[in-house]
Amino acid sequence: MSYAVICLDRPHTRELRDRTRLAHMEYINAHRELMQLGAALLEDAGEGRIGMMIAIDLPNREAVEEFMRSEPYNAAGIFESVMIRKCARVFPETDPAHFDNLLIEERRKAVLQK
């Protein structure tokens, strides 16, 4: 099952984030096969990191919570909030026709509603 995890940093944790970065990267690397997407969240006005977002393939929410308990940024207290939501992966496509089929179905529904 896919889960989206969106983490926002507490204010004034940049130095702690920098000190914890290698441990974070090693942890993610050790779980690379589970990662469907990984991204740093950046400041609107610059390149400073303000959080992270991942999509991860784990069997249930409890497994995601366990993964996040051990995640070095989270364990170091960098995150102000961690939001976990089940998600349905659309892109990148594992089946190139999947999105096309979803679009066809939505167009069909729209015609029926008129």
Query: Per residue in 37-83, pLDDT tens?
Result: 999 999 999 888 999 999 999 999 999 999 999 999 999 999 999 99
More confidently predicted of 95 and 56:
56
Looking up residue 40, the CATH number of its domain turns out to be 3.30.70.1060
pTM of this structure: 0.83
Q: What residue numbers bound the domain in which 82 lies? A: 2-113
**Tally of domains in the chain:** 1
Token pair belonging to 19: 């000190």
Within a 10 A sphere around the Cβ of 93, how many other Cβ atoms? 11
Going through the chain in order, the beta strands assigned E by DSSP cover 2-9, 35-42, 49-57, 79-87
State the virtual CA torsion across 13, 75, 1, 56 in degrees, nearest 10.
Answer: 50
pLDDT of residue 47: 80
pLDDT of 1 higher than 80: yes
